[in-house]
Amino acid sequence: MTSTPATHRHLLPLLAVGIVALLVIIGFWSASAQKKALEEIRTAPAGDNSDPRNAGMESDVPDYAAQSDAKVTSRSETDAYVKVAMESINGVRSPVVFYQTKLKESGWSISEDTTGDEGGMITARKGSRTIEVTITALPGGAGSTVEVTVKK
């Protein structure tokens, strides 16, 4: 006796329930893993290389991504510098004011500030280190990009 599709039709609802249950389990597992990863990022010490927002920057470097909606889009580090790029839905005014204020509060001396309505650059010094913050308006007022480079 050979099986025909009609003889196994009663198994289809059971198979569908099993697939749905598996998808629900995978969804909960994924959400739990994401929540754990976000908590690890939030609790990592400032300047720690394990915190992707800071990308190895020292704790006296203001972290716009940690205190705003900005998302880190790239990070790089060499023997000469550490660079972090971010994108924000905020216009240029928010990161400009943030860095003008927080750099001074962190002991940096601003040596150049060419910021305006479309963005610009803030350069500051602290000891032998230099920080350059470049802020650019996104087209159509869609937000801004922020690039922070700390020269060691």
The predicted-structure confidence for 53-100, as pLDDT tens digits, reads as follows: 555 678 899 999 988 999 999 999 999 999 999 999 999 999 999 999
Q: How many CB atoms lie within 10 A of CB 4?
A: 8
101-113 mean pLDDT = 96
Question: Would you state the pLDDT for residue 19?
Answer: 78
Question: Would you state the pLDDT for residue 48?
Answer: 40
124-138 mean pLDDT = 96
Identify the residue with better confidence: 145 or 20. Answer: 145
Q: Is the dihedral of CA 60, 62, 65, 66 positive or negative?
A: positive
Please tell me whether the overall predicted TM-score, pTM, comes out greater than 0.85 for this model: no
Do the beta carbons of residue 88 and residue 144 sit within 8 Å? yes
Burial 12-35 (b: 16+ CB within 10 A, else e): eeeeeeeeeeeeeeeeeeeeeeee
Average pLDDT of every residue of the chain: 80
* Confidence band of 52 (pLDDT split at 50, 70, 90): very low
Question: Quick one: what percent of the chain has pLDDT higher than 90?
Answer: 53
